[in-house]
Amino acid sequence: MNKKYEIRLQEKEREQIEQLLHSGSTSKGIRHRCLVLLLADESQGAIPTQAEIARRAGVSEATVYNAVKDY
């Protein structure tokens, strides 16, 4: 992944994102962005490439880039 933007989630942030991800009332787009953030979290070790995150989350690479940039 381009290292222009870094995602380092704190434990509380991870918990909040996971709650959104598993909530039945959360829209599909928000769930995809939550998954992207969890996959891009550098505090969990080595992160996959942007293309790999997109494949795992079922979104485009542009969505990955925008979710990371907007965070």
Question: What is the domain partition of the chain in residue ranges?
Answer: 20-70
**pTM of the entire structure?**
0.86
Write out pLDDT tens, residues 17-56.
999 999 989 999 999 999 999 999 988 888 788 999 999 9
Helix 11-22, helix 28-40: angle, nearest 10: 150
Q: How far apart are CA 51 and CA 28, in angstroms?
A: 20
**At 43, which helix (H) or strand (E)?**
none
Q: How far apart are CA 64 and CA 52, in angstroms?
A: 10
Yes or no: domain 20-70 corresponds to CATH 1.10.405: no
**Which pLDDT score, from 0 to 100, does residue 3 have?**
60
**Please, which residues bridge with residue 41 across strands?**
7
**Which pLDDT score, from 0 to 100, does residue 44 have?**
80
Beta strand spans in the chain (E)? none
